Chain A
Amino acid sequence: MSATLDKGINALKEQVDSSVAAFFSSCVHCGMCADACLFYTETGDATVTPINKTEPLRRIWKSEYTLLGRLGKIFGLNKKVDDDLLAEWETLVYDNCTLCGRCSMVCPVGNDITLMIRKTREGMAKAGHAPEGLIGATKRSVTIGSPMGVKLPALQAQISHVEKDTGMKIPVDVVGAEYMLLLSSMEIMNFPEFIEAVAKIFDKAGATWTISSEAFEATNSGIQIGVSDIAAELVQRVVTAAEKLKVKTVISPECGHAYMAIRWDGPNLVGKPFTFKVRHILEVLDEFRQEGRLKLSGKETQKLTYHDPCQISRRGGVIDQPRNLINMFAEDFVEMPEAGKMNWCCGAGGGVSSNERADEVRLKVFQRKKDQLNEIKPDAIISACSNCRIHLEDGLEEYNMDIPLMSLTETLAEHLADD
Chain B
Amino acid sequence: MTDRSSDKEKTLGDALRSQGVSRRSFLKFCAATASMMAISPAMIPKIAEALEKARKPSVIWLSFQECTGCTESLTRAHATTIENLIFDSISLDYHHTLQAAAGHAAEEAREVAMKENHGEYLLVVDGSIPMGDPGYSTIAGISNYDMLMEAAEGAAAIISVGTCATYGGLPMAKPNPTGAVSVGDLIKDKPIINVPGCPPIPVVITGVLTHFLTFGAIPELDHIGRPMVFYGQSIHDRCYRRPFYDKGLFAETFDDEGAQKGWCLYKLGCKGPTTYNACATTKWNNGTSFPIEAGHPCIGCSEPRFWDGGGFYKALSMPTQDIGKTAVYTAAGAVAAGVAIGGLNKLTKSGAAAAHDKTTIDDLEKE
Contacts and interface: CB of A to CB of B under 8 A. Distances in A.
B337 to A, nearest CB: 8
A10 B366 contact: no
Interface residues of A, number: 28
16 contacts: A2-B365, A3-B363, A3-B364, A7-B359, A10-B356, A13-B348, A13-B349, A13-B351, A14-B352, A17-B349, A65-B348, A70-B344, A130-B364, A135-B364, A227-B364, A230-B360
Interface in A1-30: 1-4, 7, 10-11, 13-14, 16-17
A144 to B, nearest CB: 11
Given A10-B352, A135-B364, 5 more contacts: A2-B362, A2-B367, A10-B356, A135-B361, A227-B359
B358 interface: yes
Contacts of A126: 357, 359, 363
Interface in A137-172: 138-139, 142-143
A128 interface: yes
B204 to A, nearest CB: 54
B359 A128 contact: no
Nearest to A2: B367
Contacts of A281: none
Contact of A138 (B356, B361, B366): B361
B25 interface: no
A95 to B, nearest CB: 17
B79 interface: no
A3 B356 contact: no
B363 to A, nearest CB: 5
A225 interface: yes
B363 A14 contact: no
A128 B359 CA distance: 11
Contacts of B355: 10
B353 interface: yes
B353 A14 contact: yes
Contacts of A247: none
B128 to A, nearest CB: 49
Interface residues of B, number: 21
A67 B341 contact: yes
Interface string A34-68: 00000000000000000000000000000011010
B363 A65 contact: no
A130 B366 CA distance: 11
A13 B356 CA distance: 10
A225 B355 CA distance: 21
B345 interface: yes
A320 interface: no
Contacts of B357: 1, 7, 10, 126
Given A10-B356, A14-B353, A3 B366 contact: yes
A229 interface: yes
A2 B349 contact: no
Contact of B349 (A11, A14, A227, A230): A14
A120 B197 CA distance: 69
Contacts of B351: 13
Contacts of B362: 1-2
